[in-house]
Chains A and B, each alone.
Chain A
Amino acid sequence: AQTVTQSQPEMSVQEAETVTLSCTYDTSESDYYLFWYKQPPSRQMILVIRQEAYKQQNATENRFSVNFQKAAKSFSLKISDSQLGDAAMYFCAYLLSGTYKYIFGTGTRLKVLA
């Protein structure tokens, strides 16, 4: 069975600084997708970034980038130039190719300090 682990329940970062959130996963499959979602106090899950396992190149979306290490089964999220609006719960999610079911990690609460 696939599992997703986020070992940092809470992280803090100073505004304008860089922070990295960790995510590891366990799967015996080779074809899958990984995602980072953000859940602000409004509760709506917002997609931050997506990575296809077959792509070696790390995904980037503006200030957000990932470090995808397939062999190590690691998928960390780097947020550069942190902003107050980045404060939220961040969830790492795994999606096996050909399915619709996400497996989520337990989340990391990110606090941004002014």
Chain B
Amino acid sequence: KAGVTQTPRYLIKTRGQQVTLSCSPISGHRSVSWYQQTPGQGLQFLFEYFSETQRNKGNFPGRFSGRQFSNSRSEMNVSTLELGDSALYLCASRISMNTEAFFGQGTRLTVV
């Protein structure tokens, strides 16, 4: 069974640009969550989608957005990139509420 797949693995972008990250969950998993990991702030929750609906959003500016498709694949978008957006972005999927999340290997975003 394939795990959670995140693409791309690495990205370098310039300040002011926008970026789209992709996440394919484990087959059968309808919930996808996104987390930002930085050395200073640790792991912070971005948002969570279930059956194409955003059910929860973390405390991030509106420049961070996401969506989920009917096949449960999810994308997150960051517009007007800032240097502080440099981070490891982790996607996780779970089969249902109250179950453990399975994580992808992350996308390392560097903003220069």
Interface residues of B (CB under 8 A from A): 31, 33, 35, 42-43, 45, 48, 50, 55-56, 58, 88, 90, 92, 94, 97-98, 100-106, 108
What A residues does B104 contact at CB under 8 A? 44
Contacting pair B102 A43 (CB below 8 A): no
B33, A100: Cβ atoms closer than 8 Å: yes
Nearest B residue to A104 via CB reads: B43
Interface size bracket, A side: 20 to 34
Interface centre among B35, B90, B92, B101 (most CB of A within 10 A): B101
Q: Which residues of B contact A99 (CB under 8 A)?
A: 56, 97
Name which residue of chain B comes closest to A37, CB basis. B103
The digit string for A88-114, where 1 denotes a CB below 8 A from any CB of B, is 000100010111111111110000000
